[in-house]
Amino acid sequence: MTKLTRTDFSDLDAKDTLAQWRGEFSLPPGVIYLDGNSLGALPKVTLARMQDVIAREWGEDLIKSWNTADWINAPSRAGDKIASLIGANPGEVVAADSTSVNLFKLAAAAVVMRPGRHKIITEPGNFPTDLYVLQGLKDYLGPDYILEVATREKIPAAIDKDTAVVVLTHVHYKTGLMFDMAAITRRAHEAGALMLWDLSHSAGALPVDLNGSDADLAVGCGYKYLNGGPGAPAFLFVAKRHQEAIKPPLSGWMGHAAPFAFSDEYTPAPGIRRNLCGTPSILGLAALETSLDLMVRVDMAELRKKSQKMGDLFIRLVEEKCGGHGFGLASPRDCALRGSQVSLTHPEGYAIMQALIARGVIGDFRAPDILRFGFTPLYLSYSNIWDAALILAEVMTGGLWRAEEFQKRAAVT
């Protein structure tokens, strides 16, 4: 195989059908941003939209905006847009709260929907908040309940007649390894269990087919590949067939059938809205919805193709340019099994990532030894991939990561 050259990458850019999307995002000069899997970039249109929400909708129209700007339907409106990205139907998704809170709502409700079953299944090394939320739920449910943390190979056998719900993250946050959504869902259903998917590293990153996989429940993040802004509202999905049965314990007024009747008795809203709880963040939803208005116009099949190609090229470049520097590949080599990221391992991963960031290549580090590089095809060019790999090679061959300043751990890694 001939070695790659920069021309190969500029040629790919010239033919890139998604290239025009880059202009929709505000990115600082001199930065190659490979951390859209942690915080998506700012769509240019968001700033003007937020100014309008703040100055006009809040500042001028004040309380009336619940009606005149239709704030009241923002969770469903954003939800319907997300639905189109994850293989769900309108009315099956709402946006509100955080991924963690939504996960609690749905996992807690799933246990009630499967009475007499005492087991919740997940995998070790799942995104920490998923594990923590399930641990908190299990403790709250009491000693009759079990949280079984089964490794990936053991999950199919672990799912049994006592299993209420299986909670897994579709694309692993560290490795990018993807579950076969349809196969695991089928296995859960064979045992009569419900399947709850965390799509935090899938939604907006690759085509997801919740209904095609017969999924029951799902949650996901608004601030990663959906570019909704820091701490953006998350989303949750409940398949149509479960919507009248589900009853999350967090029954707040926004989930009521008639929130402005101010009745003393809780009557859950018909449909997906009963899964809302308190007053949603209108500012957060406005930023998220603005970004979603871009996302829904994207050809997700094209995006997936570019993302996979970028990952493949990055792996090949790292092996060509950084061989012998001690990197391992934590992500699957087969792009069909990989989300939109490539993760490398290195014992000095933290310092290496700091040195990269200092040179404008922004990825992130996940303890103990993972360097994560996210590929967001909407605002990255193929040339960015070449440049990032070359800078990584410079950091390694020059030993730049050994500088003292790169060893100090920050509060947030």
Q: Interaction with a copy of itself in 144-163: which residues (CB under 8 A)?
A: 149
Please list, in sequence order, all residues whose beta carbon lies within 8 angstroms of the beta carbon of residue 276, skipping any fewer than 6 positions away: 75, 94, 96, 97, 252, 254, 255, 269
Smallest separation (angstroms) from a copy of itself to the CB of 153: 17
Q: Which residue has the tokens 């079990």?
A: 146
Out of 9, 127, 375, 379, pick the active-site residue.
127
Could you say whether residue 229 binds a copy of itself (CB under 8 A)? yes
Residues 164-203 within binding reach of a copy of itself (CB under 8 A): 174
The 3 state secondary structure assigned to 363-375 is: CEEECCCEEEEEC
For residue 2, the SS3 value is coil
Q: Which of 5, 90, 139, 180 binds a copy of itself (CB under 8 A)?
A: 139
Q: At what angle do helices 382-397 and 300-321 cross, to 10 degrees?
A: 20
Could you say whether residue 283 binds a copy of itself (CB under 8 A)? yes
The one-letter amino acid code at 181 reads M
Out of 224, 273, 306, 338, pick the active-site residue.
224
Could you say whether residue 247 binds a copy of itself (CB under 8 A)? yes
Residues 249-278 within binding reach of a copy of itself (CB under 8 A): 249-256, 259-266, 277-278
| Interaction mask 1-40, a copy of itself, x per CB under 8 A | -------------------------xxx--x-x-x--xx-
Read off the DSSP letter of residue 257. Answer: S
**CB of 37 or CB of 307, closer to a copy of itself:** 37
Give me 118's structure tokens.
Answer: 């005492």
CA pair distance 303, 172, nearest whole angstrom: 19
Residues 74-103 within binding reach of a copy of itself (CB under 8 A): 97-101
Q: Nearest-CA neighbor of 219 among 101, 78, 137?
A: 101
Question: Does 314 participate in catalysis according to the annotation?
Answer: no
Question: Does 152 participate in catalysis according to the annotation?
Answer: no
CA pair distance 325, 305, nearest whole angstrom: 29
Contact 241, 91 (CB under 8 A): no
CA pair distance 402, 411, nearest whole angstrom: 20
Question: Does 379 participate in catalysis according to the annotation?
Answer: no
Question: Does 369 participate in catalysis according to the annotation?
Answer: no
**CB of 97 or CB of 148, closer to a copy of itself:** 97
Could you say whether residue 137 binds a copy of itself (CB under 8 A)? yes
State CA 137 to chain mean position distance: 22
Q: Which of 124, 144, 297, 324 binds a copy of itself (CB under 8 A)?
A: 124
Smallest separation (angstroms) from a copy of itself to the CB of 11: 29
CA pair distance 262, 284, nearest whole angstrom: 26
Per the DSSP assignment, residues forming a β-bridge with 165 are: 120, 194
Smallest separation (angstroms) from a copy of itself to the CB of 212: 28
Detail the DSSP E strand segments found in 96-176: 119-122, 146-149, 163-169
| Interaction mask 35-74, a copy of itself, x per CB under 8 A | x--xx-xx---xx--xx--xx-xxxxxxxxxxx---xx--
**CB of 136 or CB of 271, closer to a copy of itself:** 136
Q: How many residues does the chain have?
A: 413
**CB of 255 or CB of 311, closer to a copy of itself:** 255
Question: Does 179 participate in catalysis according to the annotation?
Answer: no
Smallest separation (angstroms) from a copy of itself to the CB of 6: 25
Residues 296-355 within binding reach of a copy of itself (CB under 8 A): none
Out of 80, 97, 130, 198, pick the active-site residue.
198
CA pair distance 334, 23, nearest whole angstrom: 30
Contact 95, 234 (CB under 8 A): yes
**CB of 27 or CB of 191, closer to a copy of itself:** 27
Smallest separation (angstroms) from a copy of itself to the CB of 285: 7
CA pair distance 247, 250, nearest whole angstrom: 8
Active-site amino acid positions: 127, 198, 223-224, 372
